[in-house]
Amino acid sequence: MNDDAQLIDRTLAGQSTAFGQLVEKYQDRLYNTVVHVVGNAEDAKDVVQEAFVQAFLKLASFQGASAFYTWLYRIAFNVAATHRRQRRAMWAAEQARQRDGSPPGAAQSPSRRIEQEECRRQVHRAIGRLGEEYRAVLVLREIDGCCYETIAEILEVPIGTVRSRLHRARLQLREELREVLAVEP
């Protein structure tokens, strides 16, 4: 029996500290993925917290057919999707505010650090403009480093769909960044 299975069994037996160990084990990794999916740190914290709450409440339904983190990521992506639907108007307004509030010519600042920060913000915004299904695949593959099989399990889609969405996500991201970062066609 693996470590996660033992912690799950202990949690189901009433030892809530065992679930705390699962939270400690996966919270940073889950947060790092979710922050790219939802687009900002505060929303990511809320989504991750809600995902762990739901995972705790639904733990008895975990059948072990997949790895615990895969099951947890699936819950987090569902929570993130719900969160995004509920906050779409607020998110769009925030993105517009951020675009309008960035100083002109900031990317041409003599300071390399400022250039890199601006570049990071532009990439983050471009990822945020991708469709939800493309953003999820791109974040899981390129940022979290998941293999195709794990992504397919998390998103509950065939591997061919993962490959197709990843290809389209990369093309869309490249198009989004072409003008901003002078990416060659």
User: Domain containing 77 — which CATH number?
Assistant: 1.10.1740.10
Which residues are within 8 A (CB) of 49 and not within 5 positions of it... i.e. 6 or more apart?
none
Domain final residue, candidates 101, 121, 152: 101
Domain final residue, candidates 101, 132, 152: 101
Q: Are residues 69 and 5 in the same domain?
A: yes
Number of domains forming the structure of the chain: 2
Domain final residue, candidates 77, 101, 125: 101
**pTM for this model (two decimals):** 0.59
* C-alpha closest to that of 175 among 91, 167, 37: 167
pLDDT of residue 159: 92
Domain range for residue 19?
Answer: 1-101
- The rounded distance, in Å, linking the Cα atoms of 165 and 174 is 14
pLDDT of residue 102: 47
- 51-85 confidence digits (pLDDT tens): 999 999 999 999 888 899 999 999 998 888 777 76
Mean confidence (pLDDT) of the chain? 81
Whether residue 19 contacts residue 11, with contact meaning beta carbons closer than 8 Å, is answered with: yes
Angle 160-85-132 (CA atoms, 0-180°, nearest 5)?
25
Whether residue 64 contacts residue 4, with contact meaning beta carbons closer than 8 Å, is answered with: no
pLDDT of residue 111: 64
**Tokens found for residue 161:** 């769909």
Which helix (H) or strand (E) segment holds residue 148: the answer is helix 148-155
